[in-house]
Structure 1
């Protein structure tokens, strides 16, 4: 953690704010594990919204589409109207192919071990995925909410 991040943590601790990470996951078999509640199975090749959130008036949408084999064949991540698409092993930001590591005003995309990770600089959000030859077999969205202690 850099100095700014540590200062932010100290400010939240002193203000009585509690940090709660949340993770939503999906796997190539069609299993979806939401932020809260029980997992469920979705076997469809229609696009659907995995998650949508707004924080400090910044909007984020993560939509996915599965192929016939159950793996994700397209993921669309829109943060503050910047569109990132994962498809056919490629990463497109605003319809332009990018290579890793990629740094943009609103997001950073980089290798994270065997995974690839997109980290937003506007939201407390990361999207992490694992690419295999036929698509994406694992994807998770991690965000944080801050709750005021009573």
Structure 2
């Protein structure tokens, strides 16, 4: 299955018109169908192979044809996509600290309540549990959103094929 890439459709149209090419001429030069050229110029979506063919014809890097996203959007998207992992890491740290600061000294004979008092009654397990539950919620949300975007992509493909 091909990966769908988001291309800069205005740039593609400008490149084609600057060379005074029709869509048919571009399609012939790329070795793809005219319908594919029409769809790309309308939606901006193309397969990886089609993007490479267009880039080769225009003697550009495939990256030059893609839609540029601001770094802030990419960073926020990356943070949202992996927030569940950060929550699980935080839970692991809290659980680890509980084992080192509370459980091990207690097993060696220290008073359980005194160990908590030494650490200013910080409730490692409470924070670890909250982070763990939050991680599961964020992971579930991420899986749901990925599934939703796949369904939308499939609907678009079926719509374009009709």
TM-score range, shorter chain: under 0.3
- Give the alignment's TM-score, normalised by structure 1: 0.23
> Greater helix share, 1 or 2?
2
Which one has a bigger Cα radius of gyration? 2
